[in-house]
Each structure stands twice: as structure tokens, then as C-alpha cells.
Amino acid sequence: MAKQIEIMRQPRIKILSILETFSLDQLNIIPAGFNNNILWNLGHMIAAQQGVCYKRAGLDTWVSDSFFQAYKPDTKPEGYISEEQFDEIKELLMTSLDQLETDLHAGIFTNYPAWTTRYGAEIRDINDAIAFLPFHEGLHVGYIMGLRKLV
């Protein structure tokens, strides 16, 4: 599992590095034809990880409920994402993976029911869930890379 978490960690570090040259206003732009922005995609990657790993296992998310509700699937930005909120996203991009790794080693994901993702992937346990996350995050990194050309 450490390898899969590292596979998620490196693109998160890289995307933050790429975004350092953008202003907060640029990161908040929702281009025509899109329903979200770069910052929402970053927050969604965290919320999706929390939902797939923790909520599906019947556990509380490690992030606040307000954060999860703002970025969970089928949401969109409801207003300007502040510098403070962006700082929280940047921190959570790394600490959420650290916590996931800690919780995996602690064995807390014992009650994980099988389910099928909207992409057709069958998830039977936490190991499958973690194997699925790089695919999901890759989609959103792709969106971010496209959005950055439009802002």
C-alpha cells in the first residue's frame, strides 16, 4: 500500500509546484463550459479519498464535515475560495495521505463493504479502494492541467 500512496503523493507535489505561478484569482476562475475550477479539483481529490476510504468503511472522515461537503462528488464551487482555504487544501493534500497510511497500518478499515464505482470498477476492500484512487486523481490532475491553460 505504501507504493500506491506514494503514487498519489508525487503528482500532488508536482501539481502544487506547477500552480505556484498562478494567482488566487486565476485558480478560482471557472472557464466557460466548465462547472468547477482548479481549487475545487484539488479539494475534490481530498474529499474523494476521504469518501472512498473512510466513509465507505463506515468511519468518520479525517477532514472536517464542512470541507467534505464542499468538495464531495456532485458539488461545484459555491463561492470564491480564499487564501486561507487554499492553504488548508495544500496542507490536506499531504497530511491526508500521511493519515491514510497511518490508519492502514493501524488496521482500522475492517468493515469495508463491496461497491462499484461510477467508472465500473469493482471495489471489494480497502486495498481495492486505494488501488482505484490514483486513477481518480489522474482524472482530476488532467482537468487541472487543462484548466490551467484557460485561466
* Domain CATH number, residue 51: 1.20.120.450
37 phi-psi bin (left φ>0, alpha ψ -120 to 50, beta other): beta
Q: Which residue has the higher pLDDT, 87 or 1?
A: 87
With beta carbons less than 8 A apart as the criterion, state whether 67 and 88 touch: yes
Q: Which of 50, 22, 26 is nearest to 37 (CA)?
A: 26
Quote the number of domains for the chain. Answer: 1
Cell output for 91: 496542507
Name the percent of the chain lying above pLDDT 70: 99
Task: Name residue, grid cell 475534490.
Answer: 44
- Domain assignment of residue 52, given as a range: 2-73+81-148
The one-character DSSP state at 32 is T
Residue 1 has pLDDT above 70, yes or no: no
pLDDT tens digits, 5-34: 998 999 999 999 999 999 999 999 999 999
C-alpha 66/C-alpha 114 separation (Å) is: 26
The residues, ordered by sequence, that sit 6+ positions from 74 with a Cβ below 8 Å of its Cβ are none
pLDDT of residue 9: 93
**Span 38-57, mean pLDDT?**
97
CB atoms within 10 A of CB 118: 7
pLDDT of residue 4: 84
With beta carbons less than 8 A apart as the criterion, state whether 126 and 133 touch: no
Residue 2 has pLDDT above 80, yes or no: no
pLDDT tens digits, 101-125: 999 999 999 999 999 999 999 999 9
- Whole-model pTM: value is 0.94
